[in-house]
């Protein structure tokens, strides 16, 4: 949700900033802007629209500055427009600021600054920041003291990179509840919201914690806490390859990421599970502790929440612990029953989703142990949780999540086995489940062969107004995810229902030729599921089935076969034809698959 970058070194900053913004466009793409310092003056170029427009506009200016900051926006306060784009300047043009987050008390701050003679030209919350810094600067504080004082007045969330024309050799960066990392090169530093922005330039990153302030010049970086005491920070090496942030011949990141799934699942498994052993780095829970747990909450947003729903049954059946799955944005406002006997799991691909982080903080306050499941090492959620475990999906760039979901379901299934083993629960199913998990990468490769079939099917569906998904048991969460994929990137209205629930209301929506996609992977539920499908066929629906079962009826419009596996992990396979379907429908409609309208990959506001 908004991407910010910065550069200080000896090279021209403009192309480096633009490159970083292109790599962060998944965080927002309705306007973009940059600032450099040229001849002791702040240059600023900004525009409504995508980074490409900024690239063209800024190339015409021939900027030579070797220090700069830039921003790609996902609008919250103030519609996308040139004037609302970042960077924002103070009234005296001394400070230039890019911001990710929301300043919740901006109205009060604006009133205070208005009363001191400051004027505002945008509708953003951000514009108060450079003016507040200037307010403190004008009282005799230097750059860093002015930033520190201003940030103490800010309520809400922020990651900031700031230029000051009177101290033209440095960038000051700070954060609270929004991510910020600083990559170190040879006599140069790269600031960004997330590591993929500059993986091509460096693998070594500092991760800022809340209220840290970094002062960055070409040859030096110093870190300070809230009170401006110097602190030291360790540098972390990120082992993601450069290729992982390129399309590598694929038309879109989403398609590349769909096809990366055999590997991302293999990597996730190989870091945790061998034939007879589960070992999860960073996690050491005792039998005594797990025996005290009487409830597990799995909390997340969007696709990550669907991964939680997919493993609820496994945690309950294998570990015999009641397991609830909740939306992070709802969880914290419903006063959930949490105490030291509750274990809370938080799933977040990015590790930066504000709702999920806030829900984690709530559990900590109530003395529950917390485990973060993330794809990004060093991300905010992993620094808040008691324990952090990682999917090894590699960077996911497309806004619609694919490989992160299948890696999450895989890792959470392994986590459930880990709990059962620590608890010394005797269950003959565990051995075969492990074997089935180990076979997932080759079965995913097998499922991907349905691509041509699915592409053909998409030609029949791309102009539909509504498409419904149904499933029973484990197939219900998988159908929720299939439906979410479709609506996210094709803009076709879609909903998913539990198959048995259809007759209690949603069946009223079925008209002649309404497409209904059913997932059927549970042997024990086949007959019941088929009866539900027949009920809608009778009412005119076009029935499409994704199944690993042999079906005897033959009045279905289309059946897509997938390999059989242990039912607990079948969503890893059944979701893949649905990811492909969403992709091809979106392509046929001529839409931007990787950057769907109104969405952002990492939602760092609540």
Q: Which residues are catalytic?
A: 2, 601
Tell me if 323 contacts ligand G6P by CB under 6 A: no
The enclosing H or E element of 343 equals strand 342-348
- In whole angstroms, the minimum distance from the beta carbon of 605 to ligand G6P comes to 11
- Asked if 46 contacts 31 with a C-beta cutoff of 8 angstroms, the reply is yes
Which one, 118 or 405, has the nearer CB to ligand G6P?
Answer: 405
- Residue from 53, 386, 599, 606 touching ligand G6P (CB under 6 A): that is 599
Question: CB-wise, 264 or 353, nearer to ligand G6P?
Answer: 353
By the rule CB under 6 A, 494 interacts with ligand G6P: no
What are the DSSP E strand ranges found in 368-447? Answer: 369-374, 387-390
Cis bond before residue 221 (omega within 30° of 0): no
Name residues contacting ligand G6P, limited to 384-413 (CB under 6 A). Answer: 399, 401
Q: How far is the CB of 302 from ligand G6P (least distance, A)?
A: 3
Q: Token match 């450069």: residue?
A: 242
Q: Is 417 exposed, middle or buried (0-12, 13-18, 19+ CB in 10 A)?
A: buried
Residue 581 engages ligand G6P in binding (rule: CB under 6 A)? no
| Segment (H or E) for 73 | strand 67-73
Touching ligand G6P, residues 340-369 (CB under 6 A): 348-350, 353, 356
Q: Does 268 bind ligand G6P (CB under 6 A)?
A: no
For 44, 51, 75, the CA distances from 54, given in Å and listed in that order, are 11, 5, 17
* CA proximity to 116, closest of 92, 143, 88, 145: 92
Site string for ligand G6P, 135-154 (x = CB under 6 A): --------------------
How far apart are CB 571 and ligand G6P at their closest, in Å? 15
Q: Which of 203, 206, 193 is nearest to 233 (CA)?
A: 206
Question: Which neighbouring-strand residues pair with 190?
Answer: 7, 183
Give Cα 14 to chain centroid, integer Å. Answer: 27
| Matching residue, tokens 């229902």 | 497
One of 302, 308, 394, 395 touching ligand G6P (CB under 6 A): 302
Q: How far apart are CA 183 and CA 77, in angstroms?
A: 29
Asked if residues 374 and 388 have their Cβ atoms less than 8 Å apart, the reply is yes
Min. distance of Cβ 360 from ligand G6P in angstroms?
Answer: 11
Q: Using CB under 6 A, which of 96, 148, 193, 303 touches ligand G6P?
A: 303
323 φ/ψ angles, rounded to the nearest 5 degrees: -125, 125
User: For ligand G6P, which is the closer residue by CB, 268 or 565?
Assistant: 268
Stretch that binds ligand G6P, among 132-140, 165-173, 411-419, 595-603 (CB under 6 A): 595-603
**Choice between 8 and 307, CB closer to ligand G6P:** 307
Q: Which is nearer to ligand G6P, 350 or 567 (CB)?
A: 350
Which CB, 203 or 601, lies closer to ligand G6P? 601
Give Cα separations from 339 to 290, 294, 295, 370, 602 (angstroms).
14, 10, 10, 11, 29
Supply 282's token pair.
Answer: 């960073």
338 is an interface residue for ligand G6P by CB under 6 A: no
Supply the minimum distance, in Å, between the C-beta of residue 303 and ligand G6P: 3
Binding stretches for ligand G6P (CB under 6 A): 301-304, 348-350, 353, 356, 399, 401, 599, 601-603
């Amino acid at each position: 949700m908004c991407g910010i970058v910065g550069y200080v070194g000896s090279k021209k900053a403009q192309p480096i900033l633009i490159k970083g913004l292109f790599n962060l466009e998944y965080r927002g793409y309705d306007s973009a802007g940059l600032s450099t310092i040229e001849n002791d003056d702040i240059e600023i170029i900004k525009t409504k629209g995508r980074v490409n427009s900024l690239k063209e506009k800024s190339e015409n200016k021939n900027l030579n500055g070797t220090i700069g900051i830039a921003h790609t926006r996902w609008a919250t306060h103030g519609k996308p427009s040139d004037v609302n784009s970042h960077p924002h300047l103070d009234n005296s043009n001394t400070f230039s600021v890019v911001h990710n987050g929301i300043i919740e008390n901006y109205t009060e701050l604006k009133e205070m600054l208005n009363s001191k003679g400051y004027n505002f030209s945008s509708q953003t919350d951000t514009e108060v920041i450079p003016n507040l810094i200037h307010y403190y600067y004008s009282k005799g504080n230097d750059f860093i003291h002015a930033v520190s004082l201003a940030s103490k007045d800010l309520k809400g969330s922020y990651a900031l990179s700031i230029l000051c024309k009177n101290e033209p050799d440095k960038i000051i960066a700070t954060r609270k509840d929004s991510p910020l990392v600083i990559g170190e090169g040879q006599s140069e530093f790269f600031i960004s919201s997330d590591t993929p922005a500059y993986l091509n330039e460096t693998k070594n990153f500092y991760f800022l914690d809340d209220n840290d302030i970094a002062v960055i010049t070409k040859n030096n970086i110093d870190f300070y806490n809230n009170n401006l005491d110097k602190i030291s920070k360790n540098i972390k090496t990120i082992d993601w390859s450069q290729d992982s942030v390129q399309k590598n011949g694929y038309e879109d990141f989403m398609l590349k990421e769909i096809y990366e799934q055999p590997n991302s699942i293999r990597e996730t498994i190989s870091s945790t599970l061998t034939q007879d052993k589960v070992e999860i780095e960073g996690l050491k829970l005792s039998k005594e502790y797990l025996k005290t747990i009487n409830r597990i909450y799995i909390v997340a947003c969007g696709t990550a929440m669907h991964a939680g729903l997919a493993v609820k049954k496994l945690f309950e059946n294998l570990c015999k612990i009641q397991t609830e799955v909740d939306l992070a944005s709802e969880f914290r406002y419903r006063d959930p029953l949490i105490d030291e006997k509750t274990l809370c799991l938080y799933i977040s691909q990015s590790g930066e989703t504000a709702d999920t982080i806030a829900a984690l903080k709530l559990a900590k306050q109530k003395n529950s142990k917390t485990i973060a499941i993330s794809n990004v090492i060093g991300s905010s959620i992993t620094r808040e949780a008691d324990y952090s475990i990682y999917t090894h999906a590699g960077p996911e760039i497309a806004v619609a999540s694919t490989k992160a979901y299948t890696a999450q379901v895989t890792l959470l299934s392994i986590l459930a086995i880990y709990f059962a083993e620590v608890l010394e629960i005797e269950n003959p199913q565990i051995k075969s489940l492990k074997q089935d998990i180990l076979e997932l990468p080759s079965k995913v490769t097998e499922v991907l062969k349905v691509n041509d079939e699915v592409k053909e099917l998409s030609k029949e569906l791309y102009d539909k107004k509504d498409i419904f998904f149904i499933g029973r048991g484990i197939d219900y969460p998988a159908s929720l995810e299939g439906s979410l994929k479709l609506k996210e990137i094709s803009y076709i209205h879609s909903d998913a229902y539990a198959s048995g629930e259809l007759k209690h209301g949603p069946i009223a929506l079925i008209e002649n030729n309404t497409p209904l996609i059913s997932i059927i992977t549970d042997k024990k539920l086949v007959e019941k599921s088929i009866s539900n499908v027949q009920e809608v066929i009778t009412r005119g629906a076009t029935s499409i089935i994704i199944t690993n079962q042999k079906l005897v009826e033959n009045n279905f419009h289309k059946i897509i076969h997938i390999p059989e596996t242990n039912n607990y992990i079948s969503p890893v396979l059944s979701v893949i034809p649905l990811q492909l379907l969403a992709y091809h429908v979106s392509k046929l409609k001529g839409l931007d698959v990787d950057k769907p309208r109104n969405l952002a990959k990492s939602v760092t506001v609540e």
